[in-house]
Amino acid sequence: MAKVNKYRNAAAKAVNGCPLMDGREKADAGDYEGIELTIEDAYPMTGENGTFYCVTCEGMKSEYFFSGGALTNALSSIEAEAKADGVDLSEAVKGIVFEFQPMKKTSNGRKFRPVTIL
């Protein structure tokens, strides 16, 4: 029975998505451009292009962000270091301060939003 519950829990997690999204709306990073944000929690998710993170910030109880490329790279590095040290991702990211920068374009015209870790 324990194995059945383990598999059921994994299936529920896959179907129900990220628990950080419960009761929250997706925030627009552009609305927070240039504002220092402090990470409260992050949750890894898998999409068509690989891993990304759902991020919640202190003082934003009704919103969350999905990490773009820059924030995903930073959080992936933190997650790898934390895992090597035996630290949970939630604990490792709590209190990290970052700031969304203005949108930029690559040489091939793709838009992206840089992030600065402060």
pLDDT in tens, 20-29: 888 889 999 9
Confidence of residue 68 (pLDDT cuts 50, 70, 90): confident
Contact residues for 46 (Cβ-Cβ < 8 A; gap 6+)? 52
Q: What gap in Å lies between CA 77 and CA 100, rounded to an integer? A: 18
Q: What gap in Å lies between CA 18 and CA 36, rounded to an integer? A: 24
97, 110 contact by CB (below 8 A)? no
Question: What's residue 16's pLDDT?
Answer: 53
